[in-house]
Amino acid sequence: MNHRILRNRDELIALASEWNPLLRASGADSVFLTWEWIRTWLDVLPEVRLLVVAVRDDDGKLCGLAPFFMRSLALGGVLSFESLQMLGGAEAGSDYPDLIVREPANPAVIEAIADALNECGREWDCLWLPAVAGWTGARERLRALFQAGGWFVNEREAEFACVDLPATHEELRDAQPEKMRKHLRQYIRRHAIDGPWRFVDLTAEGRIEEGLNALFDLHSQRWQLRGDSGAFGEKTGMTEFCRRFAAAAHQSAWLRLYGLSDGVRLGAVQFGYVYRDEFLAVQEGFDPAVQPPGIGHVLRDESMRRCIEAGLRRYDFLGEFTDHKRRWGARRRVGSDFLAGRRRLKNRLLFTHPIWPTGRFLHEAPLQPARAKTSG
């Protein structure tokens, strides 16, 4: 196996034609690791410091990618650590980081990635990889990487939530708690039967910009009531990333943007992607002033109905498992958060209680998004 470390955009862009074929031949295949996602992320955050490992076999065939970048962490505002993180994660709302390794997994590929990272070990201190899936082989691939590298490693359990979609919407309802079914019937009657709200497929109707603008506004309204700016705050690149990636996702038939409209405005919006027969629920927003409450529930129920009718297998809530998601019939899936680091004295501070597992003394340096485009 031959490895190469890529540090600039041109070197990475040269892999564009090989990226997705390798991804599809791996166990890491996720919309969050597609070339379209990575390229958009790089356009939004052009100043990131790349450290991508590409592994080829003796015939020159690409067989492994470790798509990392470096980000500074500060411990207590005093001691600085250079952290390797996954491209496409920060500022984009993604989960499920992974190594992209051609199946069947060859241990020599992962060993080559570890060797490459050890060769440039003076440049980085630790790897921070949260929200790793436990059902795709990602956890095992990363554990193998840490073992091959001979690094410190701490792992904690991470919870995720998804709904296994049945054959019919009625079966989905039957699997929900009785209290949830009762509330849904009330919400639907008040808002969609007796009320003015009607389901709108904003993607199919070509109203993507309108839907995104409503999403950003409605999501922010709800979080502002809690004293927070939410995912689309001014200091993040999430808004610009979603705008830019929506075009690529729409072209690839991945984009899903649903809403409830009273004919004048959108009172609720759900935003996500469909990839490999799964709906990935990225963000949502609803008008907190709409009374009676429940408009967001009406939209989610109808979105799930559309997913079932389209033959999708799962509705992935993304993020942590909560009681709210359980009431929708979600089951708990288990993954991991990883913190790994080179065996050096400085890193011992990161692998002692109480810094891990809480991480409450670690602070990330902000990433600088590119100047946002103004919409017409």
Q: Pick from 319, 343, 342: which is nearest to 332 by CA?
A: 319
Q: Pick from 247, 249, 245, 295: which is nearest to 270 by CA?
A: 295
How far apart, in whole angstroms, are the C-alpha atoms of residue 73 and residue 140?
Answer: 26
How far apart, in whole angstroms, are the C-alpha atoms of residue 117 and residue 314?
Answer: 36
Please give the span between the terminal C-alpha atoms of the chain, in angstroms, as a whole number. Answer: 50
Q: Do 367 and 237 form a contact (C-beta atoms < 8 A)?
A: yes
pTM: 0.93
- pLDDT score recorded for residue 369: 79
- pLDDT score recorded for residue 376: 35
Q: Where do the domains of the chain lie, and which CATH numbers do they carry? A: 2-158+335-364 (3.40.630.30), 166-312 (3.40.630.30)
- DSSP H helices, the chain, are 9-13, 16-24, 35-44, 107-119, 138-149, 169-174, 178-188, 208-224, 238-251, 295-309, 323-326, 355-358
Q: Do 191 and 197 form a contact (C-beta atoms < 8 A)?
A: yes
- pLDDT score recorded for residue 84: 97
- pLDDT score recorded for residue 375: 41
Q: Pick from 351, 367, 361: which is nearest to 80 by CA?
A: 361
Beta strand 331-341 pairing with 126-132? antiparallel
Residues 6+ apart with CB under 8 A from 88: 32, 33, 37, 38, 41, 67, 94
pLDDT in tens, the chain (376 residues): 999 999 999 999 999 999 999 999 999 999 999 999 999 999 999 889 999 999 999 999 999 999 999 999 998 778 899 999 999 987 888 999 999 999 987 899 999 999 999 999 899 999 999 999 999 999 999 999 999 999 999 999 999 999 999 999 999 999 999 999 999 999 999 999 999 999 999 999 999 999 999 999 998 887 776 766 666 766 568 899 999 999 999 999 999 999 999 999 999 999 999 999 999 999 999 998 998 899 999 999 999 999 999 999 999 999 899 999 999 999 999 999 999 999 999 898 888 877 777 777 888 888 877 765 544 3
Residues 6+ apart with CB under 8 A from 203: 211, 250, 255, 256, 257, 258
Instruction: Please list the residues that pair with 102 across neighbouring strands.
Output: 26
